[in-house]
């Protein structure tokens, strides 16, 4: 169907016919072109009976509102949705009334570079904007995504390492059994799981001497046996909630922010600020490799892919290979 066959202000988009007129709300036709119902719908729009005129619905505020109702947003993991919300609110604070259709690639780059001093914020906001503008394309508001292909700011990423043994012992010395900080550490180290999954653990997840875990990020289901150190920490914990790690009132699970700050306080006291909560997952993977476990055995505990097992354990593997190589070298020269 050519445009000249359509009435004034009616345009065909990929997902149907739309009434589009400057200063008027965009409206998708609900009836087939040429039918009596279509012409009545068209007449109602022109006469103002369909919805109020001159309402600019094409704004970032409207786009974000629609995005939050879409499967793209509602299917996000709770933690990811919370992260996205921070950036969506940021967009609302700076361009709520702006029309996203007018956003160009140069505007995306300018927005990214305006936060170049906060590299993580700049890059994450770019990722969320890319998703948001893709939703704008799906709505038929624009034909292309101006954020697609815009590169993130490169930075020298600090390599994360497992906690040295002496700092693990210092942490244990600073946090006695019965404290949430100690229980959190033993859960992370003993199960090798992400902090988000550890904070979700319930007493009912303990079955047959192990934890039944369903990872939030991957959806993998695991059963991880409980180590003696972790069992000792569990024995010293209070069981006044369905969650193992609770807030101070014991009414709900411990929040990520609260747990992270509590652990940071301990790290500052013992001089372990370089090592964070996620590094305990590295410890778990490395200890399994040092114990002679294959990658498949490591993954049976951590739930990681083969590539991630290699990434987490590459330093300890290199050390083991170097030791083996030098031992062979010593044997050669000693012969």
> CB–CB of 284/191 below 8 Å?
yes
Give the residue carrying structure tokens 């702006």. 98
> CB–CB of 47/36 below 8 Å?
no
- Identify whether 154 is part of a domain: no
Q: Which domain holds residue 14?
A: 3-47
Q: How many domains does the chain have?
A: 3
**Per-position b or e across 224-254, b if 16+ CB within 10 A of its CB:** bebbeebeebbeebeeebebbbbeeeeeebb
- Identify whether 331 is part of a domain: no
> CB–CB of 38/31 below 8 Å?
yes
pLDDT at 177: 95
Rounded to an integer, what distance in angstroms lies between the CA atom of residue 236 and that of residue 234?
A: 5
Rounded to an integer, what distance in angstroms lies between the CA atom of residue 101 and that of residue 272?
A: 48
- pLDDT tens, residue by residue, 228-244: 999 999 999 988 899 99
> Is pLDDT of 130 > 90?
yes
Q: Are residues 304 and 273 in the same domain?
A: yes
- Identify whether 287 is part of a domain: yes
Q: Are residues 86 and 201 in the same domain?
A: no
- Identify whether 328 is part of a domain: no
> Which alpha helices (H) appear in 192-255, and where do they start and end?
195-199, 228-235
How many other CB atoms are found less than 10 A from the CB of residue 321? 10
Q: Are residues 189 and 295 in the same domain?
A: yes
- pLDDT tens, residue by residue, 82-111: 899 999 999 999 999 999 999 999 999 999
Q: How far is CA 196 from CA 24, 77, 214, in A?
A: 46, 11, 11
> Is pLDDT of 12 > 90?
no
> Is pLDDT of 199 > 60?
yes
> Is pLDDT of 212 > 90?
yes
Q: Are residues 175 and 204 in the same domain?
A: yes
- pLDDT tens, residue by residue, 18-71: 888 877 777 888 888 889 999 999 998 888 776 544 444 789 999 999 999 999
Q: Hey, what are 141's tokens?
A: 């508001």
- Identify whether 156 is part of a domain: no
Q: Are residues 35 and 106 in the same domain?
A: no
Alpha-carbon dihedral sign for residues 152, 158, 159, 165: negative
Q: Are residues 41 and 83 in the same domain?
A: no
- Per the DSSP assignment, residues forming a β-bridge with 12 are 17
> CB–CB of 264/171 below 8 Å?
no
Average pLDDT of the residues of the chain: 90
> Is pLDDT of 224 > 70?
yes
CATH of the domain at 188: 1.10.443.10
pTM exceeds 0.75, yes or no: no
Q: Are residues 292 and 207 in the same domain?
A: yes
Which of these, 137, 138, 126, 68, lies nearest to 101 by C-alpha position? 137
Q: Are residues 19 and 82 in the same domain?
A: no
> Is pLDDT of 295 > 50?
yes
> CB–CB of 150/105 below 8 Å?
yes
> CB–CB of 134/145 below 8 Å?
yes
> CB–CB of 245/259 below 8 Å?
yes
pLDDT at 332: 63
Q: Are residues 35 and 113 in the same domain?
A: no
- Identify whether 248 is part of a domain: yes
Q: Are residues 35 and 68 in the same domain?
A: no
- Identify whether 246 is part of a domain: yes
Q: Are residues 66 and 41 in the same domain?
A: no
> Which alpha helices (H) appear in 213-253, and where do they start and end?
228-235
Which of these, 233, 161, 171, 226, lies nearest to 193 by C-alpha position? 226
- Identify whether 269 is part of a domain: yes
pLDDT bin (cut points 50, 70, 90) of residue 128 is: very high
Rounded to an integer, what distance in angstroms lies between the CA atom of residue 109 and that of residue 4?
A: 38
> Which alpha helices (H) appear in 236-278, and where do they start and end?
256-270
Q: Are residues 272 and 172 in the same domain?
A: yes
Rounded to an integer, what distance in angstroms lies between the CA atom of residue 150 and that of residue 129?
A: 11
């Amino acid at each position: 169907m050519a445009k000249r066959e359509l009435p004034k202000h009616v345009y065909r988009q990929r997902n149907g016919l739309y009434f589009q007129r400057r200063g008027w709300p965009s409206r998708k036709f609900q009836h087939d072109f040429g039918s009596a119902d279509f012409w009545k719908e068209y007449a109602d729009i022109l006469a103002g009976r369909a919805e109020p005129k001159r309402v600019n619905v094409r704004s970032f505020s409207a786009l974000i509102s629609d995005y939050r109702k879409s499967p793209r947003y509602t299917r996000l993991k709770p933690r990811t949705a919370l992260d996205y919300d921070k950036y969506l609110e940021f967009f609302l604070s700076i361009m709520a009334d702006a029309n996203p259709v007018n956003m160009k690639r140069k505007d995306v780059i300018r927005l990214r570079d305006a936060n170049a001093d906060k590299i993580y914020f700049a890059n994450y906001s770019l990722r969320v904007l890319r998703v948001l503008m893709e939703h704008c394309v799906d709505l038929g508001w624009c034909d292309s995504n101006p954020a697609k292909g815009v590169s993130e700011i490169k930075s020298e990423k600090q390599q994360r390492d497992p906690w040295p043994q002496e700092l693990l012992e210092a942490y244990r010395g600073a946090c006695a059994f019965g404290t949430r900080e100690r229980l959190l550490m033993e859960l992370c180290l003993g199960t090798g799981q992400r902090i988000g999954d550890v904070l979700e653990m319930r007493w009912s997840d303990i079955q047959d001497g192990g934890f039944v875990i369903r990872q939030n990020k991957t959806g993998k289901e695991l059963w991880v046996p409980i180590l003696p150190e972790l069992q000792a920490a569990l024995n010293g914990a209070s069981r006044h909630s369905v969650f193992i790690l609770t807030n101070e009132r014991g009414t709900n699970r411990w929040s990520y922010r609260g747990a992270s700050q509590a652990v940071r306080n301990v790290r500052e006291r013992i001089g372990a600020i370089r090592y964070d909560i996620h590094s305990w997952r590295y410890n778990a993977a490395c200890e399994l490799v040092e114990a002679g476990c294959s990658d498949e055995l490591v993954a049976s505990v951590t739930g990681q892919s083969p590539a991630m097992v290699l990434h987490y354990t590459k330093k300890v593997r290199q050390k083991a290979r170097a030791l083996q190589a030098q031992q062979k070298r010593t044997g050669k020269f000693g012969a």
